[in-house]
Chain A
């Protein structure tokens, strides 16, 4: 009897989409801090999203568990590697990151406010842009590749010390025009499949697209360790993949378009806890 039910169930599952609501669960990091993974949408997206929900809720039980414990989170290995780099002097000035910034923990509070307007440069800067500016102009060292290993590891270290703090990027003042440009991109239906970010992550989160459970596409968890490619993935690499999947010509990592899009997407997650490095499939 039990067997029969099992077989029936199996065939029913093949034809029926898996129940795909975000999982009701609480992310407690290292049995210590409870992270805000769902909360009221910020005012500027309240007309389209009632609640903002971290991508963590859309992943499977094991994936969620991996992220809850630093010993199980493969992304933390790269954080350790970056910690070493943080303290290593490089470049013509003989300085390390620590020479100017002290301990990596002192960077707590940085990740939640990036991308951020830089007054001297007169532009909105991502964390990656700021890191490369430090390397070139403070250390006299070579720039890192925008989504390369050194860079993504360092962004993981800087994110990790802010875990639990709410994302809080500024969208007004001098950043506003960049934010507007990002918003425009978010809603533009690109490529031969004519899909916008909003097609998948606003109109269809919670639904299945083939085997993928669509989340709201927030970036509070970046960089993400993906089980699929077993490495840390940068925000702009994810953007590139999503745009490519609409059969479109993508923008490049670090391009003004992706910087603007990052500011806009980050702002949709204002209020969610920083989770990076998160674990995703």
Chain B
């Protein structure tokens, strides 16, 4: 159900012209791995961001990162660094760059690029194992990226 919703969303985001402020995945400017301005021109919602970070069918960031604030969510992975204090270590612009495309900040990182639509080898249609079709869009929408960034900014404690 959530997947279907996401797929429909992705279609909307990639094919229909975007709201005036929204920056498309292919039009993002990175400066030293950071993205200076909001992708939507609107502030993110840290409460929604918290859900996206935890939810298996959305960001699923806890698959690889441990976050003490999300102790209520079971099974955190330890592929990436613990995110406690991320809002202290990184600026908002840096966090936006890392979430959108971590491979620019961290060369060859295993972290997926959440706001990217091109340059994949054998891209699939979500988790079906079939080839990508016209519904293919970024892993997270521009607003979802902003929500995640808004949440990460709150992680100032170690």
Which A residues fall within an 8 A CB radius of B? 11, 14-17, 20, 188-195, 199, 203-204, 207-211, 240, 243-250
In the complex, which residues 58-117 of chain B have their Cβ closer than 8 Å to any Cβ of chain A? Answer: 60, 62-64, 66-68, 70-79, 103, 110, 112-113
- Known contacts A194-B120, A203-B110, A248-B123; decide if A209 and B77 are in contact (CB<8 Å): yes
Q: Which residues of A contact B121 (CB under 8 A)?
A: 188-191, 194, 248
Question: Is A199 within 8 A of B74, CB to CB?
Answer: no
B153 at interface by CB-CB < 8 Å: no
Q: Which residues of B contact A246 (CB under 8 A)?
A: 124
Q: How far is the CA of A14 from the CA of B62 in the complex (A)?
A: 12
Across the interface, name the chain A residue whose C-beta is closest to B110. Answer: A199
- Known contacts A207-B79, A208-B75, A208-B78; decide if A15 and B110 are in contact (CB<8 Å): no
- A192 CB contact (under 8 Å) in B56, B60, B77, B120: B120
Q: Which residues of A contact B120 (CB under 8 A)?
A: 190-192, 194
Q: Which residues of B contact A190 (CB under 8 A)?
A: 120-122
Which B residues fall within an 8 A CB radius of A? 56, 60, 62-64, 66-68, 70-79, 103, 110, 112-113, 120-132, 136, 139
Q: How far is the CA of A266 from the CA of B138 in the complex (A)?
A: 35
Question: Is A15 within 8 A of B68, CB to CB?
Answer: yes
Question: Is A15 within 8 A of B123, CB to CB?
Answer: no
User: Would you give the shortest CB distance from A22 to chain B, in whole angstroms?
Assistant: 15
Q: How far is the CA of A244 from the CA of B127 in the complex (A)?
A: 6
Q: Which residues of B contact A244 (CB under 8 A)?
A: 124, 127-129
Question: Is B123 within 8 A of A204, CB to CB?
Answer: no
User: Would you give the shortest CB distance from A188 to chain B, in whole angstroms?
Assistant: 6
- Known contacts A20-B78, A194-B112; decide if A249 and B63 are in contact (CB<8 Å): no
Number of A-B residue pairs, CB cutoff 8 Å, is 95
Q: How far is the CA of A16 from the CA of B65 in the complex (A)?
A: 10
Interface centre among A14, A20, A194, A199 (most CB of B within 10 A): A194
Q: How far is the CA of A191 from the CA of B132 in the complex (A)?
A: 9
Q: How far is the CA of A240 from the CA of B129 in the complex (A)?
A: 8
Q: How far is the CA of A30 from the CA of B120 in the complex (A)?
A: 47
Instruction: With A14-B72, A191-B123, A248-B123 given, name 4 new contacts (CB 8 A).
Output: A16-B66, A190-B120, A190-B122, A209-B64
Q: How far is the CA of A157 from the CA of B93 in the complex (A)?
A: 58
Q: How far is the CA of A17 from the CA of B103 in the complex (A)?
A: 24
Q: Which residues of B contact A195 (CB under 8 A)?
A: 110, 112
Q: Which residues of A contact B113 (CB under 8 A)?
A: 194
Q: How far is the CA of A236 from the CA of B116 in the complex (A)?
A: 30
User: Would you give the shortest CB distance from A18 to chain B, in whole angstroms?
Assistant: 9
Across the interface, name the chain A residue whose C-beta is closest to B73. Answer: A14
User: Would you give the shortest CB distance from A224 to chain B, in whole angstroms?
Assistant: 19
User: Would you give the shortest CB distance from A100 to chain B, in whole angstroms?
Assistant: 37
Question: Is A17 within 8 A of B71, CB to CB?
Answer: no
Q: Which residues of A contact B103 (CB under 8 A)?
A: 194
- Known contacts A204-B110, A209-B79; decide if A14 and B123 are in contact (CB<8 Å): no
User: Would you give the shortest CB distance from A9 to chain B, in whole angstroms?
Assistant: 13
A-B contact pairs, 23 of them (CB 8 A): A14-B71, A15-B66, A16-B66, A17-B76, A190-B120, A191-B122, A191-B124, A192-B120, A193-B112, A194-B103, A194-B121, A199-B110, A207-B79, A210-B56, A210-B60, A210-B63, A210-B75, A210-B76, A211-B75, A244-B129, A246-B124, A247-B126, A249-B131
User: Would you give the shortest CB distance from A151 to chain B, in whole angstroms?
Assistant: 20
- Known contacts A240-B129, A249-B132; decide if A192 and B79 are in contact (CB<8 Å): no
